[in-house]
A and B are shown apart, each in its own frame.
Chain A
């Protein structure tokens, strides 16, 4: 509620009460208008109301008002009831008074009005209201009507208001706090009635004075115009204002009013002087009120409690801290005030001063100086101008460059060198050096002024004892005081001793200086010349004799008294001791006497009683000597003596030595010859320093001549750019005499600076050095290491060594942005600095090298550090940490404090979440989770076992498990390979996320008419005209599918089996007669006479009309098996398409995943044999009862990765047939043989034509095209790029290889891999005279190293070439490694050998080896060990793109690339483009291969053990594969087979068949035998199992079948193992 409004309502209420009766009708009439008006009226309407209320009476019906006045007053006499009820008595009485006054006024007014009715005044009275209206609402057209309306308004409005008010009061009897309630407002109004009125009149007067109005009206206006509510109120009530007011206002005002009747304005105005009270009176008054604290110092006793002496903590040795600087006067003022204000003295400390905290003022401003400095002041906001740079693709992800070795800088500042002794020193120099040294010592001591410090301490301690002894207030318990005093006293003793010692030292030092100086002077006089400019001046400082003496005496007295005290104490103690012991002694004596007496008695009684005497045999105590009390005089004597010895005598002047170099040196011409010689010698000498970093010389200073003062100034700073943390830093001092020799004088080891020392902050330090050299000189120089003497008689000899000091500073340089160029701490050798690193707090206090916390703590406790001193704070903190338990200093600081408090969960809980873990692992592409799909939304849905594999792998990282690998070496290798793989994978994972433009944008080439190669348009136009040849269909190019949005079942593997050639045919049980013919053949003659040699033995027994073989093909892929129909004959044709679904591991069809699919496609060829098992011949007519048996003939294995990378495989493959296939032989058609003799010459075997592809066609993954780091010459690299580009331009399909990536990810020029390397000795010794056989053996050895494609091992990342030793260590590699090793062996054997890069089936791009034999070329397949002649049609190598020799690369630029059609003569530049030519000669690249391969002999026992284990395992497997049948093992057969296998190994699986057959026949005559040996290199067990499984030997369900299985492992050097497995099934013939 607006208080103002409230008041108004009350005011108007009165007037409405007056007018009520008369106005009812009118009000009703105009009520509408009023409402509207009221709405418009602002809250300030009150003034208007008042005005109207006042204007009312005089305007229209003054009479009526006047007449009706008494009647109207009636109700007014009673105040409103609701308000009355709460008015206090005071207000009530006030109102009473008011009422009386009003009564009086009314009567007067009435009488006056009766007289003055006709006066025009009332009319004028309106004018202020008019004015108001004008100002408030703008001029009104009709004043009269307006006035009326106003009146009406105000009345009704006020009435309404009143109602409101009443209602409000009723409804809300208690107004909200802060707002005055109705009654309060009323009270306020009435209460302030009396004193107020003066003001408005004055105001009004003022207005009139400068007024522009009619001045006569001023006086009438004044009460009204002021618009004071109260006054108005009165007017309204009275109707006649003047009369009313006469009484209401004070006498003065009343007079004014009265005068106001007269129209002269000046009489209302009184000119008064400004009120002024004299300063004096003010001061007088103020004095009573104010207190001015005096500026004089307050006596101490006032500030302290009674009878308390001030106590100065600082003097007692406690740290008090610096007090803030406050002017003394100011302090006094405060003290005075405090004393007056609060007499309890709580503001004063023990020392009688105001308590004050240490000064908070820092010596420097902590706020950065604003604007004064450049904006670049803050490092964080620094900007730097960078040139617009071309964006270079940085290979920051790739090896090596990822962590560029930052260059760090160590600044070594060598400022100079001073010799403290040198052979060329003259005697005077020796003395001078001594003097200088002593003087330095003196200066140092002086600076430290230990004696003074100790003296002060002593003083303070004495004071403390004094105060402690006689405390004014016993604020401590007596015991404690005693204890402290005791401590003090002991400390005093200590301090005194120390002080005496120090003073004595000082004194002796001074004495020595003087003595040396005197010696020097005498020497100078003696030799009559001066060598050194040294000059000592002793300055005497006068002292006040009297004061000095007094102090001296006082000191002595104090000392004496203390000594005295000590002695008395000691004496007391001793006396106590003495008394005690004396008592004892006495007691003993008595006892003794008693005993004696007794003894005497006893002796008399019992003469033999000697036992008792021996009771105190040796215990006879000495009679204690009473201690002597030391005489005071003696003590004094002692003290004085000591003082005289160590202290300056009283009155003796203080001596201050000053060493200066102002003396003059005698010029050369005045010196004797020896001295001149010496000086010349000195001049000839020069000195320089070598800086050795990690004991390697990195730089040296200039050679500087030795000065006459034996100082050398270098002033050189060496900036050492380093990469590693320095191990040692040494300076070597060299001296050169003349032009001849340089001698190493000494080595100075410099400490490696702390990481906190950086240039500009590093102090210059001096390091001393000395040398042990002996120099004797033939002049005045004293030499070094040679005795010499100052005395004439040669006594008192001295031997001095050359020595000196190097002043230097070593610090880390700072980079441009202020960061110190310090190698990272990781490089620092462990242990050396680790302790320091950990304890950061120590370096914070400026010391370094402290490592033992415990010791430090001990030291701190012993030295009684003041824990309150802020200087010690870090140390104390450290100690508190150190002593609280383990010396653990946290090596972290909290970055985000309060983080923990606001966390939802702890980080452990976060890390525990399985879901998050799974998500993270998936996004990190951890192999196990790389392609995990759809991670459950809730933790509870994730099983623990998901992580099992991963955790196991993590755990087993270092554990070598032999379970899967059986032999340990391979286990280790597998582990190593795994690690290499992981590191490579990790390295390339990031690189793979880097895309080229071509990866993202597929840009169709613009058809080009002219260009031949890419002229699509021209070609297609040409095609239109081409004849259609429906009988010669061509494969259409299919659209490639990117592998990302594929799922299971989308991809199919299509295998089209076309036909086979030369399948072995069944042989009827052979007659024994044929055997010998065959067995006579040897290895050697096979080569000599291979063509045609096979046929004769076979041809006789080829039955003409018999089904020789019924082969079918079974293809298995990912354990899905399909087979073709059965064809007949040795050259069957199937032409069947088999379809296999392909499932990628983990359902991930990304390129990387597909590339690493390890599955193989096994294509097995079987012979279907029907066995008639009809038991009874009688049933033959009615039914067929046969059993189908399948006999394995051979297999072709094609890895999926090959299919994937090749997109399709199309060709004829050699079937991998076992060397011995019992019951089968090659059918040799005589006719056929004749025609193709030459073709088949070297390649006997069966062949299969296949077409394999993937539907839909997948985009093969590309290897990473990152540019790798290389250590090759930049020029060479550029040349390779150029060469490759040229080759690619001519023959885009031919692969040109110049650089390869080695196992550490570096680019290496390929020829570096080729170098003669020694094959194992054993292999060379087998056929010492047959190079061809040796070559074959070596090739076989190489082929026995397991094959593992890089795409599999490195997840298709890239092709890495390992060197041969790595290859042999890893025992796994792909074609390149095999080829390189084989080529190296051939080179060693003296062959001409090259690496052939080309395409082969089924491998695709591969590496073969080409050798030049006497007159023809041989092509070797390094992985199988087979070799082919150049013109062999069945050579798997289909195209040749380049040849690589040890010193050059040749690119095939012939029209054809098939080995059949090309010329391998690399000397012809028209056919082969060579890399190194005349323009770029071969630079002689060093090889990356090792010098020599070292072969360890494989442990035969281990091999045998492995053999047994494999055999056992395979047998178990076979039994597992036959779950429904009994598996019997024929031991007899097994042992036979076991004997046979080594034979096979020896002959390399050739030509033992018949012999073997005969053997078997002999042994197992009545068994039908089907089986074969398998041969493979050993890598793991799994491939062996797979191979055995794929033969399907176990797949027989003949009830009485027996099995035989034998394993033989032949160890080759370097753990290369050749595994033979012979599996056979035997069925007993009936």
Chain B
């Protein structure tokens, strides 16, 4: 019966080698969580930074959850994409972070990674674009053993999330 509001924004991304970035995001929760209102996933606009390397999106996130348990605390998964000069999109990084569990405003930095692929694929990526992507996007946040996955680091996505909790204390959760 506890409620949680997640209100905030995806501020932007920095540290990517590509310019013209946009971000697809989604919030994954456990079965105990019920979305009361808001959209679980979305996609930002494409930002091409003119000054500096930080791409600003300022994309709003506004969700209202009700929960019957703590398990499956909301987690945010991100996919940063870049758009090249031909308007083609390719993956620039996957990222994942938990929504903070204490109320208040939080500045989050979510580092990202992308699959490296074979040298052939890397070569292809360098010259003709595209790149290896995860077949199952839920690998981003699922705990499958991904030690076999060879990845390269992407940039960082910056988020600002505010959290409002309600009635958690009623169930002995201090926050």
Q: Considering the complex, give the chain A residue whose CB is closest to the CB of B30.
A: A896
Q: Which residues of B contact A910 (CB under 8 A)?
A: 1, 34, 66, 68
Chain A residues with CB under 8 Å of B150's CB are 375
A1173 CA / B32 CA spacing, docked (Å)? 78
Residues of B within 8 A of A389 (CB): 88-89, 130
Q: Knowing A385-B121, A899-B30 are in contact, say whether A906-B68 is a contact too (CB < 8 A).
A: yes
Query: Does A903 touch B at the CB level, under 8 Å?
Result: yes
Chain A: minimal CB distance from B147 (Å)? 9
For chain B, the count of residues having a C-beta within 8 Å of the partner chain is: 48
Contact of A386 among B69, B72, B84, B130 (CB under 8 A): B130
- Given A390-B88, A902-B70, A913-B66: A375 in contact with B130 (beta carbons within 8 A): no
Query: A340-393: which have CB < 8 Å to B?
Result: 375, 377-391
The reply on B36 being an interface residue by CB < 8 A is yes
State A922–B150 Cα separation when bound (angstroms).
Answer: 45
Known A-B contacts A381-B146, A895-B31, A909-B1; A922 and B136 likewise in contact (beta carbons under 8 Å): no
A383 touches B86 (CB 8 A): no
With A389-B89, A895-B31 as known contacts, state yes or no: A383 contacts B134, CB within 8 Å.
yes
Query: In the complex the two chains form, is A380's CB within 8 Å of B136's CB?
Result: yes
Interface string of A384-414 (1 = CB under 8 A from B): 1111111100000000000000000000000
Check B71 against A920 for contact (C-beta < 8 Å).
no
A905 within 8 A of B: yes
Asked if A378 and B148 make an inter-chain contact with CB atoms under 8 angstroms apart, the answer reads yes
- Give, as a whole number of angstroms, the nearest-CB distance from A938 to chain B: 11
Would you call B71 and A386 a contact (CB within 8 A)? no
A387 to B146, CA, bound (A): 23
Closest-by-CB residue of B relative to A922 is B37
| Binary contact readout A327-345 vs B (1 if CB under 8 angstroms, 0 otherwise) | 0000000000000000000
Q: Determine whether A718 belongs to the interface, using a CB cutoff of 8 Å to chain B.
A: no
Contact of A388 with B32 in the complex, beta carbons under 8 Å: no
Minimum CB–CB distance for B152 against chain A, Å: 12
A387-B64 contact in complex given A378-B144, A910-B34, C-beta closer than 8 Å: no
- Which of A385, A896, A922 is close to B130, meaning CB atoms less than 8 Å apart? A385
Q: Flag whether B162 is at the interface (Cβ < 8 A).
A: no
CA distance A575 to B34 in the complex (A): 81
Pairwise interchain contact B130-A903, C-beta atoms closer than 8 A: no
Q: Is the CB of A388 within 8 A of B135?
A: no
* Measured CA separation A375–B66 after assembly (Å): 40
**8 Å CB contact of A904 from B1, B64, B87, B131:** B1
**8 A Cβ contacts from A1272-1288 to B:** none
- Whether, in the assembled complex, B115 has its beta carbon less than 8 Å from a beta carbon of chain A, the answer is yes
Q: Which residues of B contact A817 (CB under 8 A)?
A: 135
Contact of B68 among A380, A895, A903 (CB under 8 A): A903
* Chain A residues in 8 Å Cβ range of B1: 904-905, 909-910, 913
Interface string of B57-89 (1 = CB under 8 A from A): 000000010111111100000000001101111
Residues of A within 8 A of B67 (CB): 904
* Given known contacts A380-B139, A902-B69, A386 and B133 CB-to-CB distance under 8 angstroms: yes
Asked if A1467 is at the interface (CB within 8 A of a chain B CB), the reply is no
Instruction: Give chain A interface residues in 907-949, CB to chain B under 8 Å.
Output: 907, 909-910, 913, 916, 919-920, 922-923
- When the two chains form their complex, are residues A381 and B139 in contact, meaning their CB atoms are under 8 A apart? yes
The answer to whether B124 touches A385, judged by C-beta atoms less than 8 angstroms apart, is yes
Nearest CB in chain B to that of A896: its residue: B31
Which secondary structure characterizes the binding site on chain A? mixed
Q: Which single residue of chain B is at the shortest CB-CB distance from A916?
A: B66
B36–A923 CB distance below 8 A? yes
Residue of B nearest to A907 (CB): B68
Q: Are B36 and A384 in contact (CB under 8 A)?
A: no
A899 to B29, CA, bound (A): 13
Establish whether residues A904 and B89, one from each chain, have CB atoms under 8 Å apart when the complex forms: no
> Which residues of chain A are within 8 angstroms of B130 by Cβ–Cβ distance?
385-389
CB-contact partner of B2 in A379, A384, A904, A922, under 8 A: A904
What's the Cα separation between A904 and B136 when bound, in Å?
A: 32
Residues of A within 8 Å of B44, CB to CB, are: none
Q: CA A383 – CA B64 in complex, angstroms? A: 33
B89 contacts which chain A residues (CB < 8 A)? 388-391
Across the interface, name the chain B residue whose C-beta is closest to A918.
Answer: B36
Known: A895-B31, A896-B30, A907-B68. A375 touches B148 (CB 8 A): yes
B129 contacts chain A at the CB level, 8 A cutoff: yes
Range class of the A interface residue count: 20 to 34
From B31, B91, B149, give the contact of A375 (CB < 8 A). B149
- Contact (A384, B132) CB under 8 Å given A390-B86, A909-B1: yes
A388, B71: Cβ atoms under 8 Å?
A: no
Q: Is the CB of A388 within 8 A of B128?
A: yes
Q: Which residues of A contact B36 (CB under 8 A)?
A: 916, 919-920, 923
Q: Are B34 and A383 in contact (CB under 8 A)?
A: no
Q: 1/0 per position for B109-135, CB-CB distance to A under 8 A?
A: 000000101000100100011111111
Partner of A384, one of B64, B70, B90, B133: B133
Q: Is B49 among interface residues, defined by CB-CB distance under 8 A?
A: no
Whether A919 touches B132, Cβ cut-off 8 Å, given contacts A385-B124, A391-B89, is no
Shortest CB distance A1265–B (Å): 20
CB distance from B139 to the nearest CB of A (A): 6
Q: Are A383 and B84 in contact (CB under 8 A)?
A: no
Tell me whether A386 and B131 are in contact (CB under 8 A): yes
Query: Measured between alpha carbons, how far is A381 from B146 in the docked complex, in Å?
Result: 7
Q: Which of A379, A383, A899 contacts B117 (CB 8 A)?
A: A383
A905 to B3, CA, bound (A): 12
- Is B104's CB within 8 Å of the partner chain A? no
> Which of B34, B145, B170 gathers the greatest number of chain A CB atoms within 10 Å?
B34
In the assembled complex, the CB of B35 is this many whole angstroms from the nearest CB of chain A, namely 8
Cα–Cα, bound, A379→B121 (Å): 19
> In the complex, which of the residues A380, A384, A903, A920 contacts B32, with contact meaning CB atoms closer than 8 Å?
A903
| Chain B residue, CB-CB nearest to A371 | B148
How does the 8 Å CB contact mask read for A289-315 relative to B, with 1 for contact and 0 for none? Answer: 000000000000000000000000000
* Chain B residues whose C-beta falls within 8 Å of the C-beta of A920 in the assembled complex: 34, 36-37
Decide: A381 near B88, CB < 8 A? Known: A896-B71, A899-B30.
Answer: no
Minimum CB–CB distance for A368 against chain B, Å: 9
Select from chain B the residue with minimum beta-carbon distance to A384.
Answer: B135
Residues of A within 8 A of B121 (CB): 385
For A390, the chain B residues whose CB sits under 8 A away are 86-89
Q: Is the CB of B88 within 8 A of A388?
A: yes
Q: Known A383-B134, A902-B69; judge A388-B37 contact (CB<8 A).
A: no
Task: State whether B131 touches A379 (Cβ < 8 A).
Answer: no
**Alpha-carbon gap, A904 to B2, bound state (A):** 8
Q: Does B31 contact A379, Cβ atoms closer than 8 Å?
A: no
Minimal Cβ-Cβ distance residue in B for A380: B144
Enumerate chain B residues within 8 angstroms of A906, measured Cβ to Cβ.
68
Q: Closest CB-CB distance, B27 to chain A, in whole Å?
A: 15
Complexed CA–CA distance, A895 and B31 (Å): 9
A895 to B115, CA, bound (A): 28
Nearest to A894 among chain B residues (CB) is B31
Q: Contact at B72–A904, with CB atoms within 8 Å?
A: no
Contact A899 B32 (CB under 8 A): yes
Give Cα A903–Cα B171 distance, bound, in whole angstroms: 9
Q: Given A906-B68, A923-B36, A388–B139 Cβ distance below 8 Å?
A: no
Residues of A within 8 Å of B83, CB to CB, are 391
- B135 & A382 in contact (Cβ 8 Å cutoff): yes
* Inter-chain contacts of A380 with B (CB < 8 A): 135-136, 139, 142, 144
Which chain A residues lie closer than 8 Å to B38 at the CB level? 923
Residue A383 contacts which of B32, B88, B133, B145 (CB distance < 8 angstroms)? B133
- Alpha-carbon distance between A380 and B131 when the two chains are bound, in angstroms: 18
* 22 A-B pairs whose Cβ atoms sit less than 8 Å apart in the complex: A375-B148, A379-B135, A380-B139, A381-B148, A382-B136, A383-B149, A386-B130, A389-B88, A390-B87, A391-B83, A391-B87, A895-B31, A896-B31, A896-B32, A899-B69, A899-B71, A903-B69, A904-B67, A905-B68, A910-B1, A913-B66, A916-B66
Beyond contacts A919-B64, A923-B38: 6 other A-B pairs, Cβ-Cβ < 8 A, are A380-B142, A383-B117, A383-B149, A390-B89, A896-B31, A906-B68
Can you list the 6 inter-chain pairs with the closest CB atoms, starting with the nearest?
A388-B129, A923-B37, A388-B88, A904-B171, A383-B132, A919-B36
